[in-house]
């Protein structure tokens, strides 16, 4: 049976943000309960809050901004690959995963547990990629990469080498995916970011549809 997975994190004020990023919050601007005519909320947030797309422009001044990313990259066949039990995904983890020519690859890791309510705070020990994994993905034709936490680089990687390697080639990254309920396998990806002219990123609604 066909199934659609919503792999978008719900935005709320307890959702972790990257250390040093602006505090992101949703607040009430008007309330019927308070005697006003309408309910109206406001959002004050980084463009990298929750499930979001990093535009290559985030680290590459010559890279695509969010509104320049071709929609064809954000919609189409995708593979969810599960890499459990490691803090760093290397090229050795990717060999044998049949990624040759796969343009959209989403990675389910031990990070997924961090979205459980009892663990909902920022974790510095999240799983991310090594530089040789980034080169491996490029060599195999990857155009979009996704991860189930807030960065494709390890927390201690201050120079963000994985970002730089991929964004120099206009590879797009989806960060903050919720893949807890998604089995590894082949899917159709639908990723719809807010269209922000000149944006270095944007919150996105991300869906995966099973392939039969």
Q: What is the pTM of this model?
A: 0.96
Whose structure tokens read 């009892």?
Answer: 118
| Active site (annotated) includes residue 58 | yes
Instruction: Report the pLDDT value the prediction gives residue 1, as an integer from 0 to 100.
Output: 77
Q: How far apart are CA 72 and CA 205, in angstroms?
A: 16
Which residue intervals of 140-181 are DSSP H helices?
Answer: 161-167
What's the residue count for the chain? 212
Looking at every residue in the chain, the average pLDDT score rounds to 97
Q: Mean pLDDT over residues 153-157, rounded?
A: 97
Instruction: Kindly tell me if the per-residue pLDDT of 212 is higher than 90.
Output: no
| Catalytic residue (one of 58, 93, 135, 209) | 58
Instruction: Report the pLDDT value the prediction gives residue 70, as an integer from 0 to 100.
Output: 98
Q: What are phi and psi of 73, to 5 degrees?
A: -75, -30
**For 96-107, what is each residue's pLDDT tens digit?**
999 999 999 999
| Burial of 79: CB neighbours in 10 Å, binned 0-12, 13-18, 19+ | buried
Instruction: Report the pLDDT value the prediction gives residue 143, as an integer from 0 to 100.
Output: 98
Q: Mean pLDDT over residues 144-171, rounded?
A: 98
Q: What angle do CA 128, 71, 10 make, to 5 degrees?
A: 55
- CATH number for the 4-9+46-210 domain, one of 3.40.50.300, 3.50.30.50, 3.20.20.30, 3.90.650.10? 3.50.30.50
Q: How far apart are CA 172 and CA 153, in angstroms?
A: 14
């Amino acid at each position: 049976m066909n199934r659609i997975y919503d792999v978008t994190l719900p935005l709320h004020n307890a959702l972790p943000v990257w250390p040093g990023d602006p505090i992101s919050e949703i607040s009430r601007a008007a309330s019927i309960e308070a005697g006003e005519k309408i309910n109206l909320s406001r959002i004050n947030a980084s463009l990298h809050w929750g499930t979001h797309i990093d535009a290559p422009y985030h680290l590459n001044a010559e890279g695509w901004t969010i509104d320049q990313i071709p929609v064809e990259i954000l919609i189409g066949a995708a593979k969810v690959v599960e890499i459990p039990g490691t803090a760093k995904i290397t090229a050795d983890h990717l060999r044998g995963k049949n990624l040759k020519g796969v343009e959209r690859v989403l990675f389910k890791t031990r990070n997924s547990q961090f979205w459980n309510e009892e663990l909902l705070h920022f974790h510095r020990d999240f799983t991310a990629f090594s530089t040789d994994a980034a080169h491996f993905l490029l060599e195999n034709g990857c155009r979009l990469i996704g991860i189930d936490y807030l960065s494709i680089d390890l927390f201690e990687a201050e120079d963000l080498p994985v970002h730089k390697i991929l964004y120099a080639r206009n590879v797009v990254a989806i960060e903050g995916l919720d893949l807890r309920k998604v089995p590894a396998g082949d899917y159709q990806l639908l990723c719809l970011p807010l269209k922000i002219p000149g944006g270095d990123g944007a919150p996105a609604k991300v869906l995966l549809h099973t392939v039969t």
